[in-house]
Structure 1
Amino acid sequence: MAITITPKKLKGSVDVPPSKSMAHRAIICASLARGKSVIRHIEYSKDIEATISAMKALGTMIFQYDDYLEIDGTTTFIRNMCDIDCHESGSTLRFMIPISIVCEANVHFIGQGRLGKRPLDVYYKIFDEQNIGYLYQEDVLDLYIKGQLKAGEFEIPGNVSSQFISGLLFALPLLDDDSKIVISSPLESKGYIDLTLQMLEQYGVHIENHNYQELVIPGGQTYQPCDYDVEADFSQAAFYLVAGALGNDVVLKGLNLSSQQGDKEAIDILERMGCQLMLQDDGYHMYPGHLKATTIDGSQCPDIIPVIALACALSEGVTRIENVGRLRIKECDRLSATVEVINQLGGKAKEEADAMVIEGVKTLRGGQVSSYNDHRMAMMEAIASTVCQEKVEIDDKDCVQKSYPCFWEHFTMLGGVYDEFNVGD
């Protein structure tokens, strides 16, 4: 379903949806605990549904209610042969691979979209070293694994996805012997490792963090059941923070400014550009200022870069966003797609191998753009429409189901106006 958005400023307050990153981790930890846990403040995005389904495939008892889960991990690992459908969730895939072979198992992973193109070489190297059998197809997620993960020392480069490290951190404490993860190059997305370590502690699992260069994992640990409330998501809040920076009047409810989420950096970036976050009676509001260009290191917060780039497109001067090569292996090539969309809307941007350079303009024109079947691109384009002179047409509105199913409902609640139509009509 495509949509045409009429340019209109947003006004009102919005409950920021729960953190997808924290929900993934809480569901996994609760599922690895022998006993009952309750996870509150859940939104059933496609990615979260994928992780729930994956843990059920291993035998976990999970009962779903409107906005909370009851999880009993007593029966987890009861199945030694299963199929796990990760849909399009990279987190689910990379977290679940080591978890699925904590015990001797025969597991088949499948998925959709570009998930099969996202590299798994880190795990294949471990499989080769530990004589774990595996079979896969190029560019399609159709992965068979047979064997059992063994404790030991794992050397992982820091400039690949932190999801590999998190996946091992979930699994290795359950093995009998101690393990160590050695980070062989500077660690990117450090905030996501912090979230994993925080959640492990929440569920009674202890990891020694030696300055993010070595992670020592004592074996023989037991996850403890725990009730947990998922905090608001700074990845999603970033869309409304940028909306505020561009002159929309949106109040964000539920933000925890003490959060360890790496995407909280959106606040710092926008304040460096001239905006100011202020606390109102019912939440936080990003007040606009005279936006000025800056230099941005995107290595620790890749998910917010498309919408941050939108703010840069309307700032004075030339912004350089560096260390964002990993955007190329997301749901789409987000580096190329972000540059293309900014230019199609009337901005001035160009891409480099690992960076984008954006020359600020005073206004955006609008026009026809693609979502690239990428939730974060579609939501960025919706926020862009609020500062365009002409209507913005997006070819697919439903891709937001991946992370933020209520996005269009919230968009219209805030005053956004759009018309739907079937592509080809």
Structure 2
Amino acid sequence: MGNLKIYPNKLSGEVKIPPSKSMAHRAVICAALSDGVSKVTNIDYSDDIIATIEAMSSLGAKITQTTDYLEVYGIKCPENIKANELRNERTIDCNESGSTLRFLVPIATLFDGVNRFVGRGNLGKRPLDTYYNIFDEQKIKYTYKEGTLDLKTEGKLRHGEFKVKGNISSQFITGLLFTLPLLDGDSKIIITTEMESKGYIDLTLSAIKDFGVEIINNNYEEFIIKGNQNYKSRDYRVEGDYSQAAFFFSADALSNNVVLNDLKLDSLQGDKEVIDILERMGLNLKNKNNGLIGAVSGELKATVIDGSQCPDIIPVVSLVAALSTGTTEIINAGRLRIKECDRLAAVTSELNKLGAKITEKEDGLIIEGVKELKGGIEVWSHKDHRIAMTLAIASTMCTEPIILKDYECVSKSYPQFWDDFKNVGGVFDEWNVGE
């Protein structure tokens, strides 16, 4: 991977926020599980979404990618059902997408034969014990390798009662919510701990309902799921992504001037929490040209930020906290350690190189605000898209250029990030070591 030299420069202009990766995953899955032909529009072909498209194709959906939309022939289409019945083994390549892996593991148990899950990067380090416990209870065969993703499953999931912890990852619950309505009897998911990332469960339930499946949510403590339901094909437009918008909202909090377009104001996305966090710190939002723009009057203020419901925006709001007055505490963010990299360690390491004062805790950060960042140094993305984009926004507050190592990793979620960054005034060029 390459390096970028990013020069300090304020950002100004408009950005069309890319479609929500979270909602795109869910729309592709629901459409692929349906009984007809769906059209999914406003979709961005990031690495993670391509992984889900290819995974659902491996399970028997016929998916055609065009520039503007996906055409999805669902697995329940008669011709796809017949073709899938003839397959005894399928390989599901999740690339580096944790969502694809955890959503698809239970879905794959709907089909006869052996399912082999493979991937790369840190994906093999992400725990799957929740599913292994269910497989043990239901006598579903599985084998896996430690430290790398090579999981094989064989056997069909049966309806019933599923006890699941709510504080490990909502992705396990989402995977079951997709799957259980298609079983031949009724099921119940009982949440045995406090539920984290409720916003992601809301997105799942919203997408499932849009595709014609009903699930009862009893205050995130249990989910009642009727069996023998069917996903209905439909046309679906993916909404803008608040987890990506967080980078430009944070840029506005740091004295940049970016208008954010194509965001749904009544979105259920948990990462919409970025607005509340930044407003507590002093950002004022207003409408401009049918978009949103933020500005700060006076100094940014420290706050307490709970990462349990919105882990993906923690790296970039940590940057804002690093340039705020006072001491900010990030709490309940231990899950950031098992993302594409250990994000708590990466944020601490890379922002401190630039002059921030961040102390790492087991499940969070203590951030003492400073006036400016310095630059004039090499920083590393840790091959993590959210760290790379955080450092790009950090460059706007540096006194000297920074060298960003391994910048291309943004393709995982936001392939056109560097184009958008440049279009609003970001200045950078390729940097070759030794020149």
> Does TM, normalized by the shorter one, top 0.5?
yes
- Summarize deviations over 1:48-70 as a string: whole Å, max 9, x none: 00000001111101010002100
Aligned to 1:315: 324
After TM superposition, what 4+ stretches of structure 1 lie above 6 angstroms from structure 2? Answer: none
SS of the equivalent of 2:9 reads: coil
Where does 1:207-356 land on structure 2 (aligned, <5 Å)?
207-289=215-297, 290-356=299-365
Query: Aligned partners of 2:88, 2:161: CA distance in 1, in Å?
Result: 25
Q: Does the 8 Å CA contact 2:403/2:431 hold for their aligned counterparts?
A: no
Q: Does the 8 Å CA contact 1:335/1:356 hold for their aligned counterparts?
A: yes
Query: Aligned partners of 2:113, 2:249: CA distance in 1, in Å?
Result: 45
Paired residue type of 1:99: I
- Summarize deviations over 1:346-372 as a string: whole Å, max 9, x none: 010001111100000001111211100
1:205 aligns with 2:213: yes
Aligned to 2:374: 365
Following superposition, the deviation at residue 30 of structure 1 comes to 0.3
- Summarize deviations over 1:170-212 as a string: whole Å, max 9, x none: 0110000111110000000000000000000000000010100
Where does 1:188-203 land on structure 2 (aligned, <5 Å)?
188-203=196-211
SS of the equivalent of 2:149 reads: strand
Query: Aligned partners of 2:181, 2:378: CA distance in 1, in Å?
Result: 50
Paired residue type of 1:84: I
Following superposition, the deviation at residue 104 of structure 1 comes to 2.5
Equivalent position to 1:82, from 87, 90, 115? 90
SS of the equivalent of 2:199 reads: helix
Query: Aligned partners of 1:200, 1:61: CA distance in 2, in Å?
Result: 20
Query: Aligned partners of 2:162, 2:350: CA distance in 1, in Å?
Result: 40
SS of the equivalent of 1:321 reads: strand
Equivalent position to 1:392, from 397, 402, 407? 402
The answer to which of 389-398 and 195-204 deviates more is 389-398
Aligned to 1:93: 101
Query: Aligned partners of 2:342, 2:9: CA distance in 1, in Å?
Result: 29
Paired residue type of 2:355: G
Query: Aligned partners of 1:373, 1:298: CA distance in 2, in Å?
Result: 21
Paired residue type of 2:270: G
Aligned to 1:71: 72
Over 3 Å counting, the alpha-carbon distance change for 1:423 and 1:129 in structure 2 is farther
Aligned to 1:29: 30
Aligned to 2:140: 132
Following superposition, the deviation at residue 288 of structure 1 comes to 2.0
Q: Does the 8 Å CA contact 1:50/1:86 hold for their aligned counterparts?
A: yes
SS of the equivalent of 2:419 reads: helix
SS of the equivalent of 1:377 reads: helix
Unaligned runs of 5+ in 2: none
Following superposition, the deviation at residue 105 of structure 1 comes to 2.7
Query: Aligned partners of 2:231, 2:88: CA distance in 1, in Å?
Result: 20
Query: Aligned partners of 2:120, 2:69: CA distance in 1, in Å?
Result: 26
1:178 aligns with 2:186: yes
Paired residue type of 2:179: A
Aligned to 2:19: 18
- When normalised by structure 2's length, the TM-score is 0.96
Q: Does the 8 Å CA contact 2:301/2:324 hold for their aligned counterparts?
A: yes
SS of the equivalent of 1:346 reads: coil
The answer to which of 408-417 and 15-24 deviates more is 408-417
Q: Does the 8 Å CA contact 1:30/1:203 hold for their aligned counterparts?
A: yes
Paired residue type of 2:138: Q
1:375 aligns with 2:385: yes
SS of the equivalent of 2:258 reads: strand
Query: Aligned partners of 2:177, 2:433: CA distance in 1, in Å?
Result: 44
Q: Does the 8 Å CA contact 1:184/1:213 hold for their aligned counterparts?
A: yes
Q: Does the 8 Å CA contact 1:103/1:149 hold for their aligned counterparts?
A: no
Query: Aligned partners of 1:45, 1:396: CA distance in 2, in Å?
Result: 17
Following superposition, the deviation at residue 282 of structure 1 comes to 3.3
Number of residue pairs the alignment of both structures matches: 425
- Summarize deviations over 1:137-159 as a string: whole Å, max 9, x none: 00100111111111111111111
Paired residue type of 1:343: N
Fraction of identical pairs, as percent: 57
Query: Aligned partners of 1:424, 1:263: CA distance in 2, in Å?
Result: 40
Paired residue type of 1:110: V
Query: Aligned partners of 2:434, 2:109: CA distance in 1, in Å?
Result: 46
- Summarize deviations over 1:260-318 as a string: whole Å, max 9, x none: 00000000000001111111123100112320001111100000000000000000000
Following superposition, the deviation at residue 424 of structure 1 comes to 6.4
Aligned to 2:4: 3
Unaligned runs of 5+ in 1: none
Q: Does the 8 Å CA contact 1:158/1:185 hold for their aligned counterparts?
A: yes
The answer to which of 367-376 and 70-79 deviates more is 70-79
Following superposition, the deviation at residue 228 of structure 1 comes to 0.4
- Summarize deviations over 1:14-63 as a string: whole Å, max 9, x none: 10000000000000000000100000001100000000000111110101
Query: Aligned partners of 2:133, 2:403: CA distance in 1, in Å?
Result: 44
Query: Aligned partners of 1:101, 1:364: CA distance in 2, in Å?
Result: 50
